């Protein structure tokens, strides 16, 4: 092999090594660029009216003769059910729990004279999707007092309101939260003199349903937060 051929082969090898080096250098530059990301969150909220209400109507009857007390409880239950049905509540929305009896004579710690021997508690529960109608009756429950039915406030039996149609608003809320997250990501990209790339990952947080405030439990606030990671490009 003459010197000219040797020089030519050496030049080809050198050029090949140079090209390979440039490719490796370009690849090494691209790796950090491809890892540039931004994490953003998008929030979506809705105020919705409750579509289900549960109203426990609690009362007690007391006396010394247990059969008589139970008869009074049964009669009062019937009166409450009639009142509810007369005001537009259907049978399917009314339930009566088994009465709870307390025998005060068995309280060994009581040393005072007993005004009566037995106390029986009963609960008539309304569970209905007629939220406005039930709220109206709750505001009018004084009518039961005028009929001699002593309704009790019992923290063990609170009035509750629910929103059960979350699936109907989920898609719109997720879309809104994603849009808000993208707007935040675009703003970050502009401030950093970059361009927003594709989504690297996305996480949809849990939906939460809470009372709007302590005074309007029949209005709910639905909330969801999505977390997205975008690539940033030059």
Give the pLDDT of residue 26.
47
CA distance 120 to 191: 70
pLDDT of residue 193: 85
pLDDT of the residue at 1: 55
Is residue 211 within 8 Å of residue 219, measured between CB atoms? yes
pTM above 0.75, yes or no: yes
pLDDT of residue 30: 44
pLDDT tens digit at each of 234 positions of the chain: 555 555 555 554 555 544 444 444 544 444 455 578 889 999 999 999 999 999 999 999 999 999 999 999 999 999 999 999 999 999 999 999 999 988 877 766 666 777 888 889 999 999 999 999 999 999 999 999 888 898 988 889 999 999 999 999 999 999 999 999 999 999 988 888 888 888 889 988 889 999 999 999 999 999 999 999 999 987
Q: Residue ranges of the alpha helices (H) in the chain?
A: 3-34, 66-86, 131-139, 142-146, 166-191
Residue 154 confidence (pLDDT): 85
- Residue 153: its pLDDT value, please? 85
124 forms beta bridges with 57, 96
CA 210 to centroid of chain Cα atoms: 6
Other CB atoms within a 10 A radius of the CB of residue 137 amount to 20
């Amino acid at each position: 092999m003459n010197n000219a051929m040797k020089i030519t082969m050496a030049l080809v090898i050198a050029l090949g090594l140079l090209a390979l080096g440039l490719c490796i250098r370009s690849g090494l530059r691209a790796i950090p660029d491809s890892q540039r990301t931004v994490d953003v969150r998008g929030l979506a909220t809705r105020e919705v009216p409750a579509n289900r209400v549960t109203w426990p109507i609690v009362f007690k009857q007391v006396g010394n003769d247990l059969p008589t007390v139970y008869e009074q409880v049964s009669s009062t239950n019937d009166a409450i059910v009639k009142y509810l049905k007369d005001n537009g509540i259907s049978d399917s929305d009314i339930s009566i729990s088994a009465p709870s009896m307390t025998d005060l004579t068995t309280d060994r710690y009581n040393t005072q004279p007993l005004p009566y021997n037995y106390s029986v508690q009963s609960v008539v529960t309304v569970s209905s999707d007629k939220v406005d109608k039930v709220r109206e009756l709750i505001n009018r429950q004084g009518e039961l007092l005028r009929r001699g039915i002593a309704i009790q406030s019992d923290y063990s039996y609170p009035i509750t309101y629910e929103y059960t149609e979350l699936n109907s608003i989920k898609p719109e809320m997720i879309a809104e939260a994603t849009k808000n997250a993208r707007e935040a990501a675009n703003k970050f990209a502009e401030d950093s003199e970059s361009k927003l790339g594709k989504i690297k990952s996305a996480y949809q947080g849990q939906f939460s349903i809470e009372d709007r405030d302590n005074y309007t439990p029949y209005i709910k606030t639905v909330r969801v937060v999505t977390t997205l990671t975008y690539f940033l490009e030059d």
